[in-house]
Amino acid sequence: MNVRRLFLYALAVTVAAAALATVPVIAHHSSAPFYDATKSAEAQGPVTKLLIRNPHSFLYFESEVNGKKVEWQVELGAAASLTRTGWTTDTLKPGTIVKVVGQPSRAEGSFGMCCAKVTHPDGSPIQPGGRVMEEQQPPR
């Protein structure tokens, strides 16, 4: 292999590595287009489903809005974030009553939230000794 060919190979590997390293940064998105940070929604009711998965986990629960039963969809963090704080798929079994406060969905007529504080109805944490809200981890 001559020097020029070796140099081009090394350059190609470096460019590919740099491109792959930036993909996670580019892939993450803001919740602002989907949820309104200037407003707050609050609802309480029984859990219907908890999905712990990537890139986002979801909590579903029922509540009454204007006398009508609706199902809320709460966007949570990634599976790794939740499991680090002790959450599992058994943490909130169907029928468990929760209180959720968060940013409402911008979509008209939908019942969605993100950036939510999820607690028992009395405000106590879901996990004993656990946080009631996901926190932003400080940069390392």
* pLDDT at site 85: 85
Task: Please state which of the ranges 23-27, 105-109, 112-116, 131-135 shows the lowest mean pLDDT.
Answer: 23-27
Query: What's the alpha-carbon Rg for the chain, to the nearest Å?
Result: 21
The pLDDT score that the predictor gives to residue 8 is 61
Q: What domains are defined for the chain?
A: 41-119 (2.40.50)
Question: What is the average per-residue pLDDT within 91-97?
Answer: 95
Say which residues have a Cβ less than 8 Å from residue 112's Cβ, sequence separation at least 6. Answer: 34, 35, 72, 73, 74, 75, 104, 105
Mean pLDDT, residues 62-84 taken together: 92
Q: How much is the mean pLDDT over the chain?
A: 80
Threshold 0.75, pTM exceeds: no
Q: How far apart are CA 120 and CA 112, in angstroms?
A: 19
CB count in 10 Å sphere of residue 101: 18
